[in-house]
Amino acid sequence: MKKFRQLPAALVTLLLLVAGCSSNSSSSGGSGNTSKPLVIGASLPLSGDFAQPGEASKKGYTIWQEMVNKNGGLLKRQVQLKIVDDASDQNTVVSDYNRLISQDKVDLLLGTFSSLLNIPASAVAEKAGKTYVCPACGSPDMFNRKFKNIFFAQPATAVHQADLFAQWVKSLPADQRPKTAAYPTQDDPFAQPVVNGIKDQLEAAGIKTVYGKVYPADTSNFDTIASDIKNAKPDLIAQGAVFEDGVGLVRSLVKAGYSPKAMFQTSAPSNGDQYSKSVGAANTEGVFYAVSWSPAAKYPLNQEFLQAYQTKFGGVPEEDAADSFAAAQVLQAAVQAVGSVDDQAKLSDWLHNNKVDTILGPLSWDERGAPQQAFILAQWQSGAAQVVLPQNVATSQKIVFPKPNWGGQG
Amino acid sequence: MKLAQTVLLGLLTGGVYALLASGLTLVFGVMRIINVAQGALLILAALFTFEIWRRTGLDPLLAIVVTTPLMFGVGWLLYRGLLARVRAAPEAMTVLLTFALAIAIEGFMGLIWRNVFRSVTPSYFASSFHVGGLFLPKGLAAGCLTAVVVLGLLYLVLTRTWTGRAIRASAENLQGAQLVGVRVVDVAALTFAIGVATTGAGGSILSILQPVFPASHYVWISKLLGIIVLGGMGSLPGAVIGALLLGVAENVTSAYVSPRWSLVVFYVVIMVVLLVRPQGIAGSRLREDVAA
């Protein structure tokens, strides 16, 4: 009898072990090359709040690694990834990068996900003189520390992410242009600056701000916020959203029965199916967002990336996977150009002075490591996400405006 | 008008909170166990609901008849397998154990449902009743109504059945209950299972109110603790009062101060109550020296 009573406890222990192992796994590289593999270390949020983008990042790095190894490796060495889990925790990410550098002695580093984690992690890399390319670190706080070795592998920093949207609003004829705007935003180092960027540009163009409250990351109830916005009657809503909050606000606006003439959200609408299933496909019509990457763009290797992802993981890659792939491409370009990984100051110097072709388009950086290009403006149209600006990569020639009423009842 | 709308939303939210907090307060009342895993179990039930809805299209509120017994079973197994072993240990030990359990459940959910947001979207999930100038979200109203029914049933079980009397007797006076022949170990397992079973209904309701994610449980356990501390730990009516008050307070703060402060309300309440009235609104002060 005693044995049976211990069974559940044993099962739970097993569960703990399994959960622990799975979040600590590191993928190893291919085989068959005689020289020592080139080890690239990264810590990613594979559990906790950022687990979703963290996993996408890992997929992006993995696809890149397999493509590089298939083509003979980097500097003729097979590439090995050492990915550890920081549980979305700032303290853990710091100790992870310290360990990768000083104990595991990895050859190269790749960044983690989110500005929140990259800000402390990049400080570790800078101190150790390691080149640090991060896939998602657009917060202004990343670039005001005069670091020489950090590079943000996306087309623009957060403040300029929605430039195309703001320019488009300003270009509307005076009688159609929104006159008032609401800027609800999560207290998030990546979302808030984007919305502030839009706000500054639209206020300068004479569009009045009627709502601008900030809510914390844990907010789950948006009914009151929606009701507040409804009372303010803005023509345009630009929300600094991550995911859950973007879904929450749309749902609550539908429930409150308020539909603005134009709706922009950061990040959330770029999550494809997850977004449309969560808000209801009919409610996505006309929602704008800015993206760093589009599956349709004809940049070198983009189609190969799509195919490799489809084969290995199935489906369309997440934007975060594409950004991570691009971050690895940036590092690869520098290593190939310099021809060695021993002096990383040389890698950083090279990146400061050159343009790199990635699946996000060509990227270049200023002396702080901030990228100098522009994000793509996308919009949900008839249940699918379309690129609407800039015109040379657009997948749809029209822009839905004004936004029709929410597709759901209410 | 704005105030009426805000208070209305607050009361509806509070009704749902009451159900979510009921299991936590019940388990604490009887066993002095603060079940930190309650939030994780809630998310687990929400994900079960998602799975049922995805496979069969069954309305999430009807899925309660499946999730409740399921979670009852989970609770019973957890108590027999784990918590019964630390019955004699200090209370801090159960906090540690249930916290570990919460993390284990989070990991388990990540393995099964992956780390993506899951939403249950029946036809009414994003629509409202419009009364006068006010709106009443249908999902929230249905959830609140269901919560009231489930809480009513729970209250009847506790007050009108011998099992319920045994549970309350164990809560009020453990030795006395033993003396009159209550098998306190069985009662404890049953109470814990009932406490976890409330997450079945709670999780099903939650799944239509917002997308859920394995790590969503942290914010829930903090909210629920705030509610039961305010209501008086161990008291079911207290939990209901605490839930309604905090539901309204959260919404009013969000509308009139800033959404930034609306969650802080829960933590401030915990501190103030512990300083001013540690037994909460409806809790009773126990003489620990005699009880021990």
Provide the ipTM: 0.82
* Residue at token pair 């994003």: B126
pLDDT of res. B172: 80
pLDDT of res. A8: 52
Instruction: Please tell me whether residues A61 and A129 are part of one structural domain.
Output: yes
Residue ranges of domains in chain B: 2-291
Does B259 contact A279 at a Cβ distance shorter than 8 Å? no
pLDDT at B209 over 60: yes
**Ramachandran area for residue A75 (φ above 0: left; ψ -120 to 50: alpha; else beta):** left
For the domain made up of B2-291, the CATH class stated in words is mainly alpha
pLDDT of res. A3: 45
On whether the CB atoms of residues B143 and B120 are closer than 8 A, the answer is: no
pLDDT band at residue A409 under the 50/70/90 scheme: very low
Q: How is residue A393 written in tokens? A: 């990569």
Instruction: Please tell me whether residues A258 and A168 are part of one structural domain.
Output: yes
A263 within domain boundaries: yes
Q: Give the angle A89-A101-A123 at the CA atoms, nearest 5°.
A: 55
The proportion of chain B whose per-residue pLDDT surpasses 90, expressed as a percent, equals: 48
pLDDT band at residue A26 under the 50/70/90 scheme: very low
* Residue at token pair 């298939």: A70
Residue range B138-174, pLDDT digits in tens: 989 999 999 999 999 999 998 899 988 998 888 888 8
On whether the CB atoms of residues B97 and B36 are closer than 8 A, the answer is: no
pLDDT of res. A209: 96
pLDDT of res. B199: 93
The neighbour count for residue A96, using CB atoms within 10 Å, is 25
> With an 8 Å Cβ cutoff, is A227 touching chain B?
yes
How far apart are the CA of B81 and the nearest CA of chain A, in angstroms? 5
A410 neighbourhood in chain B, CB within 8 Å: 126-128, 130, 135
pLDDT band at residue B266 under the 50/70/90 scheme: confident
The proportion of chain A whose per-residue pLDDT surpasses 70, expressed as a percent, equals: 91
How far apart are the CA of A273 and the nearest CA of chain B, in angstroms? 11
pLDDT (mean) for B277-285: 78
Instruction: Please tell me whether residues A184 and A283 are part of one structural domain.
Output: yes
pLDDT at A141 over 90: no
Residue B34 φ/ψ, nearest 5 degrees = -90, 105
Cα nearest neighbour of B114 on chain A: A52
A91 within domain boundaries: yes
Q: Give the angle A233-A234-A236 at the CA atoms, nearest 5°.
A: 150
Instruction: Please tell me whether residues A301 and A326 are part of one structural domain.
Output: yes
Instruction: Please tell me whether residues A263 and A323 are part of one structural domain.
Output: no
pLDDT (mean) for B214-226: 89
Q: CA-to-CA distance for A336 and A358, rounded, in angstroms? A: 14
Does B219 contact A218 at a Cβ distance shorter than 8 Å? yes
A330 within domain boundaries: yes
The neighbour count for residue A82, using CB atoms within 10 Å, is 17
Q: What is the mean pLDDT of chain B?
A: 89
User: DSSP letter string over A68-118?
Assistant: HHHTT-BTTB-EEEEEEE-TT-HHHHHHHHHHHHHTS--SEEE--SSHHHH
* A227 vs B9, B115, B119: nearest CB: B9
Q: What range does the domain containing A268 cover?
A: 160-293+375-393
HSE-CB at A94 with a 13 A cutoff on CA atoms is 8
A368 within domain boundaries: no
Residue A132 φ/ψ, nearest 5 degrees = -130, 105
Q: How is residue A121 written in tokens? A: 């992690």
> With an 8 Å Cβ cutoff, is A233 touching chain B?
no
H or E element in which residue A393 lies: none
HSE-CB at A86 with a 13 A cutoff on CA atoms is 33
pLDDT band at residue B133 under the 50/70/90 scheme: confident
A5 neighbourhood in chain B, CB within 8 Å: 80-81
Domain count of the fold of chain A:
2
pLDDT at A385 over 80: yes
A401 within domain boundaries: no
* B251 vs A15, A220, A224: nearest CB: A224
Does A8 contact B140 at a Cβ distance shorter than 8 Å? no
pLDDT band at residue B71 under the 50/70/90 scheme: very high
Size of interface A-B (CB pairs under 8 A): 165
Q: CA-to-CA distance for B234 and B79, rounded, in angstroms? A: 18
pLDDT (mean) for B13-17: 93
Q: CA-to-CA distance for A119 and A115, rounded, in angstroms? A: 6
pLDDT at B220 over 80: yes
* A224 vs B101, B119, B254: nearest CB: B254
CATH number at residue A129: 3.40.50.2300
Highest-scoring range by mean pLDDT, A172-176, B214-218, B276-280: A172-176
> With an 8 Å Cβ cutoff, is B59 touching chain A?
no
Q: Give contacts of B 192-211 with A, CB under 8 A.
A: 210-211
Instruction: Please tell me whether residues A166 and A308 are part of one structural domain.
Output: no
Q: How is residue B92 written in tokens? A: 């801090």
A4 neighbourhood in chain B, CB within 8 Å: none
pLDDT (mean) for A28-44: 73
Instruction: Please tell me whether residues A54 and A131 are part of one structural domain.
Output: yes
Residue range A154-165, pLDDT digits in tens: 999 888 899 999
Any idea which of A76-80, B88-92, B107-111, B251-255 has the lowest mean pLDDT? B88-92
Q: Give contacts of A 191-220 with B, CB under 8 A.
A: 213-216, 218-220
The proportion of chain A whose per-residue pLDDT surpasses 90, expressed as a percent, equals: 69
pLDDT of res. B183: 87
Does B107 contact A23 at a Cβ distance shorter than 8 Å? yes
A185 within domain boundaries: yes
